[in-house]
Amino acid sequence: MPDDLERLRALLRGGTCCSAALVQMGLEARGERNDQLLQAASALCGGVQSGLLCGALTGAACMLNLLAPEAANAHLVPELAEWFAETVGADFGGVNCRDITGGDPLARQTRCPALVEATYVRAKEILKACGYELD
């Protein structure tokens, strides 16, 4: 298992929420620490704390912009969003946190870690395709 996936899992197990965990992965890939940015990213968790757009998607979009800002808005983030809608949206009937979890805290514990990991892996694939390696 790649060390970065184990690190992501450890963050999630330790209570770091979806968006903040993905932003932290981006910061760590850059060799940086930014507690204020992580605090701000945590507002995106739980669908902007209100069940709206999934924090895995918003966190991964922020991570992409941290790692490849020149390409993120042009095509990386839209590609990630399209993948998310086609996979997660199709599986759960939408891309909002409340669609994915049905508002059930247990579903958040069982579904979200794998979803965050899959979104991170896809974001890494998108980065690799444009010449950026996270590993």
Q: pLDDT tens digit string along 35-54?
A: 999 999 999 999 999 999 99
What is the count of structural domains for the chain? 1
Q: Is 96 helix (H, G, I), strand (E, B) or coil?
A: strand
Domain membership flag for residue 133: no
Question: Residue 88 has what pLDDT?
Answer: 96
- The pTM score is 0.94
Domain containing 60 equals 3-128
Domain membership flag for residue 122: yes
Asked if residue 1 has pLDDT above 50, the reply is: no
Domain membership flag for residue 26: yes
